[in-house]
Chain A
Amino acid sequence: MSTDSHSAHGHEHHFAHHFRSAEHEYLTSKEGIWLFMVTEILMFGGLFVGYSIFHNIYPEMFAEGAKSLDWKMGFTNTLVLIFSSLTMALGIYFLQKNQAKKAAMSLAITILCGAIFMVIKYFEYTHKFHLGLFPGRFLDVAKVGAQHANLGMYFGFYYCMTGLHGIHVLLGMGLISWVLFRTVRGDFNSNYYTAVEGVGIFWHIVDLIWIFLFPLLYLVG
């Protein structure tokens, strides 16, 4: 987080004035990032709780909704994200080995994966819109020939959960671009890569949330 060096101590030790050492700052930053991840998980947790409540009340409606999703697209996206988690981790690994070029390469691939994910999402969304599968009150039950009067709610959940997740993917891509830029500029090395690791943790959590979303929305029922 706070990465400005307070002193002219040379390039190895990057730490702000209120820490004892670079290591101290690194551990503190990491704790901060994990705490922030807790809040992210809890926020999605609210959605999952809502999902499970209504899934209990209307199991057939969720089954019907899941059927109109294309699990192949969802599955592809799952693979894409898992792969991107790997490249993200590689990026950090290469920085630890002082191989900035390879690290930059890995980060770039991670961003590309994020982009592929979003493009697939885009096709999924537009296809749904085309079929008239809108959220909540915008879904015309008669027009789409839905079995369940509340099918709109399923799509309410679908768009809320994947939408919020998608926003996180975009945010992650932005953050990775920022550390990629700094990697290319030569800000990081085996002594200092806190920001990359923080962004990496964020990216892994976003992936993890998708790994829960995919079966719940596409497969259950």
Chain B
Amino acid sequence: MANAAAHGSDKNYLNETSGIWSWLTTLDHKRIGIMYFVTVMFFFLLGGIMALLIRLELMTPGPTIMTADTYNQVMTYHGAIMVFMVIIPGIPAILGNFFLPIHIGAKDVAFPKLNLLSWYCLMAGALLAFSTLFTHKIDTGWTFYTPYSIKTGTSVVTMVIAAFIMGMSSILTGLNFIATVHKLRAPGMTMYRIPLFVWALYSTAILQVLATPVLGITLLLLTMERTFGVGIFDPALGGDPVLFQHFFWFYSHPAVYIMILPAMGIVSEVIATFSRKTIFGYTAIAYSSLGIAGVSFFVWGHHMFVSGQSATAGILFSFITMLVGVPTAIKMFNWIATMYKGSVQMQSPMLFALGFLFLFAIGGVTGIMLAVLPIDVHFHDTYFVVAHFHYVMVGGTLMAIMGGFYYWFPKMFGKMYNEVTARLSFVFIFIGFNVTFFPQFVLGAMGMPRRYFDYIPAYHSLNAISTVGSWLIATGFLIGLYTIINGLTKGEKAPMNPWGGKTLEWTTASPPPHFNFDVEPVITAGPYEYR
């Protein structure tokens, strides 16, 4: 080992070097993870404020606080920010970057420079995307559907190129993770000894590498369509606007698993640790991640049941979509079996994991409902869909991110957070979430369409409830923010292993030293050897 530089016990990745420049040029995966943490949280704040504005507008029928045009723009930015800048990079780039190398006993990811470059790509893409706020704000929705996106006089090209660059960032992260998992495992760390979080990130990385290039070419084609009128998506020139949807969802459906698989990884870690039991069905959980990733490529057509694809295609896509339920259910049952007869401890990370199980179950079941062709024909583009995907993305992924933050906070910063305020944040988010989105299932079933800024008076009371719920969620996140800041500034010093976890990160100092471990670990057993 070339690295003989002795680390004093007070030296860690946070204080190894100092100054803003040392951060902006760092090649340490942990620091890069923290940089993602700060920036993605900022994007989340922006997207969240927009969500509150949308909900405020929808509190009463008729124009409430904005015009229809403004509504379309705010909704587009809310969706695009949340998808491309928060949920997709969220877990892999923040927690994955920080913990994947530590979990497999590596000193860093395979390509540290690429890792940094990927952060800069996200920043460049985000800046470009925000620049459109000062020119012609775009109003296509985050899906950029043709033909509207070809005709509208707004900054579609800038936005689409921004999304392309952010896609590059996602590809680079995925590629880096795959190579890291393949090549940098510590001695004795076989593929069946890596923690389930790593399996989840690995499956996600495969999706990032295989699906994102298709989004890339789709967005490039849209750019060319707008600038040169190539005619591929334009019916006036013999093209097919629905082809865009095929291309788009060939990426974006796998992308929803880029959003949810890492969340499932976090939940596996948290449940194993807080149940004090070996995880039930390790291989089944690991393979079901790969299974979900695999199936996700063949189901994009469920977004297009009403776009005029053939009935046969509709039936096929309907059937294959339901297959995704199988590996998902395997995971669910294994988590529950792990908790069964375990000594379950209700610390806040565990609360969030249980919140995930509950909300994701609802999101998943309504997803299967929507996969049923005749049901989707009714519910397509109604609030039922809005409720469904928020249950999955917010109730699922966001719950897991919050749980993961609390779970690993002591390790990342070497400080403990306040358990009372952390639980309070959970209570507000969980209750607020259901108050916000459950009524939307009902609204959707009553026929309220999505993406409209106005509705008939019959939908008023449920919308009002939903809006109040959004304030509860906001309160919950503010308490969470307070908990983090308070923990960072006033938190007690964290021990090495506050939760009694068995994975590798708990065997190194909190916060970890620059090269993660003072001595390279040698692995002799699986990751969750409790009893």
Which residues of B lie under 8 Å from residue A45 when comparing CB positions?
Answer: 213-214, 217
Q: A50-B232, A135-B230, A152-B231 are contacts. A31–B2 as well, Cβ < 8 Å? A: no
Instruction: Tell me whether B111 and A38 are in contact (CB under 8 A).
Output: no
User: Does chain A have a CB within 8 A of B216?
Assistant: yes
User: Does chain B have a CB within 8 A of A142?
Assistant: no
CB of A154, distance to nearest CB on chain B (Å): 9
Which residues of B lie under 8 Å from residue A16 when comparing CB positions?
Answer: 112
Across the interface, A156 reaches (CB within 8 A) one of B112, B178, B228, namely: B228
Instruction: Tell me whether B229 and A2 are in contact (CB under 8 A).
Output: no
Per-residue A-contact encoding for B475-515, CB less than 8 Å = 1, 0 else: 00000000000000000000000000000000000000001
Instruction: Tell me whether B213 and A17 are in contact (CB under 8 A).
Output: no
Q: A136-B237, A153-B238 are contacts. A2–B113 as well, Cβ < 8 Å? A: yes
User: Does chain B have a CB within 8 A of A75?
Assistant: no
CB of A167, distance to nearest CB on chain B (Å): 10
Report the bound CA distance from A32 to B182 in whole Å. Answer: 10
Per-residue B-contact encoding for A14-58, CB less than 8 Å = 1, 0 else: 001111000010011101100110111011111100100110011
User: Does chain B have a CB within 8 A of A178?
Assistant: no
Within 8 A of A (CB), among B227-268: 228-232, 234, 236-240, 243, 247
Instruction: Tell me whether B183 and A18 are in contact (CB under 8 A).
Output: no
CB of A136, distance to nearest CB on chain B (Å): 4
Within 8 A of B (CB), among A129-156: 134-138, 149-150, 152-153, 156
Per-residue A-contact encoding for B206-223, CB less than 8 Å = 1, 0 else: 000110111011101100
User: Does chain B have a CB within 8 A of A9?
Assistant: yes
Across the interface, B184 reaches (CB within 8 A) one of A2, A18, A36, A46, namely: A18
Instruction: Tell me whether A39 and B171 are in contact (CB under 8 A).
Output: yes
User: Does chain A have a CB within 8 A of B175?
Assistant: yes
Instruction: Tell me whether B107 and A17 are in contact (CB under 8 A).
Output: yes
Within 8 A of A (CB), among B67-93: none
Instruction: Tell me whether A135 and B229 are in contact (CB under 8 A).
Output: yes
User: Does chain A have a CB within 8 A of B118?
Assistant: no
Across the interface, B2 reaches (CB within 8 A) one of A6, A38, A44, A134, namely: A6
User: Does chain A have a CB within 8 A of B52?
Assistant: no
Q: A43-B214, A150-B231, A153-B231 are contacts. A32–B175 as well, Cβ < 8 Å? A: yes
Q: A1-B111, A50-B243, A150-B238 are contacts. A32–B176 as well, Cβ < 8 Å? A: yes
Across the interface, A28 reaches (CB within 8 A) one of B179, B225, B229, B238, namely: B179
User: Does chain B have a CB within 8 A of A160?
Assistant: yes
Which residues of B lie under 8 Å from residue A138 when comparing CB positions?
Answer: 228-229
Q: A18-B107, A47-B217 are contacts. A35–B230 as well, Cβ < 8 Å? A: no
Which residues of A lie under 8 Å from residue B179 when comparing CB positions?
Answer: 28, 31-32, 35
* Closest chain A residue, CB of each to CB of B3: A17
Across the interface, A42 reaches (CB within 8 A) one of B107, B214, B236, B515, namely: B214
Q: A2-B113, A18-B108, A39-B213 are contacts. A31–B183 as well, Cβ < 8 Å? A: yes
Report the bound CA distance from A124 to B425 in whole Å. Answer: 64
Q: How many residues of B contact A (CB 8 A)?
A: 44
User: Does chain B have a CB within 8 A of A220?
Assistant: no
* Closest chain A residue, CB of each to CB of B211: A42
CB of B330, distance to nearest CB on chain A (Å): 28
Instruction: Tell me whether A150 and B112 are in contact (CB under 8 A).
Output: no
Q: A46-B247, A153-B239 are contacts. A40–B213 as well, Cβ < 8 Å? A: yes
Instruction: Tell me whether B209 and A159 are in contact (CB under 8 A).
Output: no
Which residues of B lie under 8 Å from residue A38 when comparing CB positions?
Answer: 209-210
User: Does chain B have a CB within 8 A of A164?
Assistant: yes
CB of B511, distance to nearest CB on chain A (Å): 18
Instruction: Tell me whether B237 and A153 are in contact (CB under 8 A).
Output: yes
Which residues of B lie under 8 Å from residue A152 when comparing CB positions?
Answer: 229-231, 237
CB of A217, distance to nearest CB on chain B (Å): 14
User: Does chain A have a CB within 8 A of B106?
Assistant: yes
Instruction: Tell me whether B209 and A137 are in contact (CB under 8 A).
Output: no
Q: A32-B179, A35-B179, A43-B217 are contacts. A160–B110 as well, Cβ < 8 Å? A: no
Report the bound CA distance from A150 to B217 in whole Å. Answer: 22
Report the bound CA distance from A27 to B234 in whole Å. Answer: 46
Which residues of A lie under 8 Å from residue B238 when comparing CB positions?
Answer: 54, 57-58, 61, 149-150, 153
Give 20 CB contacts A-B under 8 Å: A1-B111, A6-B2, A16-B112, A18-B184, A27-B183, A28-B183, A32-B179, A35-B209, A40-B213, A42-B214, A43-B216, A46-B213, A47-B221, A50-B232, A53-B243, A136-B234, A137-B231, A137-B237, A138-B229, A160-B224
Q: A46-B247, A136-B228, A164-B220 are in contact. List 19 more A-B contacts (CB 8 A).
A: A1-B114, A2-B114, A31-B178, A32-B111, A32-B114, A38-B209, A45-B214, A46-B218, A135-B229, A135-B231, A136-B229, A136-B230, A149-B238, A150-B231, A152-B230, A152-B237, A153-B231, A153-B237, A156-B229
Q: Which 4 A-B pairs have the closest CB atoms?
A: A156-B230, A150-B238, A46-B217, A137-B229
